[in-house]
Structure 1
Amino acid sequence: MASGDRTVSRSCAIKTETRPRGHLALWGLLLLLAGWLSGQSSEAAAQSSRPDDEITKLADDVYLFRHRFHQSIFITTPKGVIVTDPISLEAATWLKGEIKKLTDQPVRYVVYSHDHNDHITGGSVFADTAVFVSHAAARPKILEEADAKIPVPDLTFTDRLFIDLGGKRVELIYTGRNHSDNSLVVLLPQNKLLFAVDFIPIETVAYRALPDGYPDDWIESLKKVEQLDFETLVPGHGKVGKKEHARLFRGYLEDLRAAVQEQVQKGASLEEAKKTVRLPKYEQWQRYAEWFPENVEGMYRYLSERRKGQP
């Protein structure tokens, strides 16, 4: 975090107890347990020590809100606040309280990045003052869920929508199908910052078997993102990146597609493809060991269906 950034967080306390000496056998058991605990991954240990909720200032009046493994942004203005993905009921409740510490202005808009519940549940917390916004294709899917915690969007658009509030401009842009068919990006032109959820992970492979994904459209969507004027890239999970990360992830999808396409054309089975396809260039990316085989599986199924003429 750069000098001058402000972080507001809720931490969880860890209570420790002192215990009297026991028999040697008990000590031996405790030592074995301590050894097992020390062998756990440093990543898990680091995660357990992080607060569940955290707010970090990104730029003037622009904040990053993280709730466990999810994150979103919000913008404060003299005329009200613009919030993106409320994540969950628990997250939104905490966030609303923290926003009140930063400004006495109400939340005027809540922007849904796409229809997936793990990012937008909890919007009802802001329903007393906010207008809810999404891409047009997200609205019917949210209606199907009939979840009272997710207010149905009041305002939708198909290509681009501008929100001007208190001297701030927020641009909502649809760049085509990618991780879903209704994902939008939030561009803050004055800050050269882009918020894009789930379809541009930062030096991380794609999520599992590309559920709800459209790989060919995804690549084209990333090309459109690369044409936008921004410098800072804020994803829905993980570390903040730069514009270059959109190009890097497009390269990953293109390389994955080409490698799997070669196996499909050879008539390889799914299991053969999963054993054969490797992309060493990306082995250092996060989740490669766990999710790369599933990425291969998702791409294989997609290309196989296209080969059969299925939509």
Structure 2
Amino acid sequence: MPRIAPIGSRIARYMDVPESAKGPAVDPAKGYRLQDLGEGLFVITDNAYQSMFLVYETGVVVVDAPPSFAGHIRQAIAEITLKPVTHLIYSHSHLDHIGGAKGLGGHPVIVAHEETRRLLVRANDPNRPVPAVTFRDRFTLRAGSRILELSYHGNAHEPGNIFISVPASKTLMVVDVICPGWMPWRRLSLAEDIPGYFAQVEEIRHLPFDTLVAGHVARTGTKADVELQSEFLKDLKLAAGQALNTTKPGEGMDPRDMANPWALFDNYTDRVMVQCVNTLTPKWSTRLAGFDAFIWDQCYAMEQSLRGD
């Protein structure tokens, strides 16, 4: 039997969130928290989503506008400056990160990857205006004396998901790849390309930064958070691979079901996932917040990738 309740099983409560995964509290009267990253760069967060803005001589560059707190972004900026928002960078196309873009008001120049533009044209969502400026591989946004380096590293989470570096602040923003202190969102943050997702985590490991803005959870990240997620992913891949190689299809099934290929594979993959979850639970259940919420999803995504990718 699995050591962690499987998907669909209702339990009294989930595991406690480790202290290492928690961030500073959000003032409920404000609905957001500001974090100063230095050199005019600030993170805005509601401790579930994160965006950031960079103040320069004559304006402000915003990166992402999650609808969960987009209504507070101008209020947050006003705590620092009265300069206008001149640019808006999209990390990628997903609604939960840029669905508040229209609500920012004004007429900022929107910058994104060309794949993000393609997806937004298809979406035809008035709350996510189509970017005016796009790029393929790299783009340097110069705002006064400030510089943001944008780069594309291929499909992982989704096509068009970019890296945003602010060298003066030693900050890197990559959304929906690393979750500092936490288990990734289900099925490896819904990665469209799982080998690409693994490769991007390793790329991030080797980039120069002190602070990682990950787009999610309660705090910004560090190099140590990236190392921890890399270690977990390697263990996940090993556990799923071992389970695939040591689990015998059809074992213990009713012989009458053996002619049903969907039942055969359902039974097989369920037993693979049980072994994968049980292998990972002793080491990781107390090291990553949300382990019990999504470990079944991770094992499922991993064994599917190993069999299909």
Q: TM-score, normalised by structure 2?
A: 0.78
- In structure 2, the CA distance between the partners of 1:209 and 1:160, relative to structure 1 (3 Å rule), is same
Q: Is the 8 A contact 2:70 2:103 kept in 1?
A: yes
| Cα separation, 2, equivalents of 1:265 and 1:110 | 48
Q: Which residue number in structure 1 is paired with residue 234 of structure 2? A: 254
Q: Is the 8 A contact 1:127 1:151 kept in 2?
A: no
| Cα separation, 1, equivalents of 2:47 and 2:82 | 26
Q: Which residue number in structure 1 is paired with residue 299 of structure 2? A: 296
Identical columns (%): 25
| Cα separation, 1, equivalents of 2:26 and 2:168 | 36
Q: Is the 8 A contact 2:26 2:46 kept in 1?
A: no
Note the alpha carbon deviations across 1:104-157, whole angstroms, 9 max, x for none.
Answer: 321111111111110000111335231111122111111221111111111112
1:68-107 to 2 correspondences below 5 Å: 69-88=48-67, 91-107=69-85
CA drift of 1:98 comes to 3.0
Q: Is the 8 A contact 1:176 1:218 kept in 2?
A: no
CA drift of 1:186 comes to 1.2
| Cα separation, 2, equivalents of 1:244 and 1:158 | 30
Q: Is the 8 A contact 1:108 1:129 kept in 2?
A: yes
1:1-311 to 2 correspondences below 5 Å: 50=28, 52-67=31-46, 69-88=48-67, 91-126=69-104, 128-210=106-188, 211-238=190-217, 239-267=219-247, 269-277=268-276, 278-279=279-280, 280-284=282-286, 285-306=288-309
Q: Which moved more, 1:268-277 or 1:46-55?
A: 46-55
Q: Is the 8 A contact 1:175 1:225 kept in 2?
A: no
Q: Is the 8 A contact 2:14 2:293 kept in 1?
A: no
| Cα separation, 2, equivalents of 1:128 and 1:114 | 21
Unaligned residue ranges in structure 2 (runs of 5+): 1-12, 18-23, 249-267
| Cα separation, 2, equivalents of 1:100 and 1:117 | 25
CA drift of 1:246 comes to 1.9
Whichever residue aligns with residue 153 of structure 2, its letter is T
- In structure 2, the CA distance between the partners of 1:144 and 1:127, relative to structure 1 (3 Å rule), is farther
Q: TM-score, normalised by structure 1?
A: 0.78
SS in 2 for 1:260: helix
| Cα separation, 2, equivalents of 1:224 and 1:137 | 20
Larger Rg: 1
CA drift of 1:40 comes to 10
Whichever residue aligns with residue 188 of structure 1, its letter is V
Higher relative contact order (CA 8 A, sep 6+): 2
Note the alpha carbon deviations across 1:243-301, whole angstroms, 9 max, x for none.
Answer: 23223212221221121122223455221122111223322211111111111011122
Whichever residue aligns with residue 276 of structure 1, its letter is Q
Q: CA RMSD in A?
A: 2.5
SS in 2 for 1:93: helix
**Aligned residue pairs, count:** 266
- In structure 2, the CA distance between the partners of 1:293 and 1:87, relative to structure 1 (3 Å rule), is same
| Cα separation, 1, equivalents of 2:131 and 2:16 | 41
Note the alpha carbon deviations across 1:217-264, whole angstroms, 9 max, x for none.
Answer: 112112222232111112111221212322321222122112112222
| Cα separation, 2, equivalents of 1:48 and 1:82 | 23
| Cα separation, 2, equivalents of 1:287 and 1:40 | 8
| Cα separation, 2, equivalents of 1:272 and 1:49 | 45
- In structure 2, the CA distance between the partners of 1:197 and 1:67, relative to structure 1 (3 Å rule), is same
| Cα separation, 1, equivalents of 2:121 and 2:308 | 29
Note the alpha carbon deviations across 1:172-195, whole angstroms, 9 max, x for none.
Answer: 122232222321121111111111
